[in-house]
């Protein structure tokens, strides 16, 4: 990192995107990510270096198409093909207004400016905070960030290989410089998904760095 990027407080053209630090993704949750809780204090620490922080929140209706329970005879972690492409079938998770969809109690980012809720359309999943899985429906986040003068998007949270990866790839596609703070993420790693995600992120020019480089 250049010294300039390590200068403590980040400027108006930076945003920290804190992805899905919700109870259902924590150990003991419905779609637990191993050691996902370890990311929470680090996200809090990182957030203190950014004046602009946006949180994302996976926010599904109970009838959501990504839930194996809504596909008779199917089990969690199977793959199916939907009109918009391949979809992993997940355990029921992050149902709107349930405790599992709430942010981890230790998340402490009072100055977060916006919360992007995603996956709220019954028939379309959305790992990405920018564009839903139909590759068409925008959440509005890119326009919001552009209007706020943001040029660089710094990502942390869960899960590295799903919502963090898809969000960072879409942030790149929207023209932002993108950084994934690797040790402030944890992965699901389903059938090689973590390696595939890093391959895609590297190919897209997403920069991979450690929290210490941001906090230095």
Active-site residue (options: 20, 37, 58, 161): 20
Quick check: 65 binds ligand VGL (CB under 6 A)? no
* Binding-residue pattern over the window 72 to 91 for ligand VGL, x denoting contact by CB under 6 A: ------------------x-
Q: What secondary structure does DSSP assign to 88-112, as a single string?
A: E-B-S--BTTSGGGSBPTT---TT-
Name residues contacting Zn ion, limited to 119-138 (CB under 5 A): 119
Q: Interface with ligand VGL includes 159 (CB under 6 A)?
A: yes
Residue 151 annotated in active site:
no
- Of 46, 95, 116, 163, the one binding ligand VGL (CB under 6 A) is 163
- Residue of 162, 176, 179, 198 interacting with ligand VGL (CB under 6 A): 162
158 binds ligand VGL (CB under 6 A): yes
Instruction: Yes or no: say if 66 and 134 are a contact pair by the CB < 8 Å rule.
Output: no
Sheet arrangement for strand 14-19: 114-118, 53-58, 14-19, 152-158, 177-186, 207-209
94 catalytic per annotation: no
CA–CA distance, 187 with 161 (Å, rounded to integer): 6
On the CB side of 61, CA atoms within 13 Å amount to 9
- Find tokens 């595939």 and name the residue: 196
Q: Which residue has the tokens 């760095």?
A: 209
Q: Is 108 a catalytic site residue? A: no
Cβ-based neighbours of 194, under 8 Å, separated by 6 or more: 160, 161, 187, 188
* Residue 165 contact, options Zn ion, ligand VGL, none, Cβ 5-8 Å cut-off depending on partner type: none
Out of 58, 132, 161, 170, name the contact with Zn ion by CB under 5 A. Answer: 58
If the CB atoms of residues 36 and 119 are measured against Zn ion, the closer one turns out to be 119
In sequence order, which residues have a C-beta less than 8 Å from that of residue 195 and are 6 or more positions away?
none
Considering only the stretches 8-16, 79-87, 143-151, 159-167, report the one whose residues sit in contact with ligand VGL under the rule CB under 6 A. 159-167
Could you give the CA distance from residue 170 to residue 130 in angstroms, rounded to a whole number? 6
Shortest distance (Å) from residue 78 CB to Zn ion: 15
Active site residues: 20, 118, 163
Return residues touching ligand VGL (CB under 6 A).
20, 25, 58, 90, 127, 158-159, 162-163
């Amino acid at each position: 990192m250049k010294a300039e990027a390590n200068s403590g407080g980040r400027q108006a053209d930076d945003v920290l995107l804190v992805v899905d630090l919700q109870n259902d993704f924590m150990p003991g949750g419905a779609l637990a990510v191993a050691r996902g809780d370890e990311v929470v204090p680090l996200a809090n620490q990182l957030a203190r270096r950014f004046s602009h922080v946006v949180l994302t929140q996976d926010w599904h209706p109970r009838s959501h198409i990504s839930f194996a329970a809504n596909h008779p005879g199917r089990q969690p972690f199977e793959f199916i093909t939907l009109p918009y492409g391949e979809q992993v079938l997940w355990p029921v998770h992050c149902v709107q207004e349930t405790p599992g969809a709430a942010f981890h109690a230790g998340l402490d980012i009072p100055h977060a400016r916006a919360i992007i809720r995603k996956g709220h359309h019954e028939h379309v999943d959305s790992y990405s905070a920018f564009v839903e899985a139909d590759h068409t429906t925008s959440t509005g986040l890119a326009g919001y960030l552009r209007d706020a003068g943001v040029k660089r998007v710094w990502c942390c949270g869960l899960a590295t290989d799903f919502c963090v990866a898809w969000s960072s790839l879409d942030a790149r596609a929207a023209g932002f410089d993108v950084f994934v703070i690797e040790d402030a993420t944890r992965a699901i790693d389903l059938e090689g998904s973590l390696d595939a995600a890093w391959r895609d992120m590297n190919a897209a020019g997403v920069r991979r760095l450690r929290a210490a480089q941001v906090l230095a």
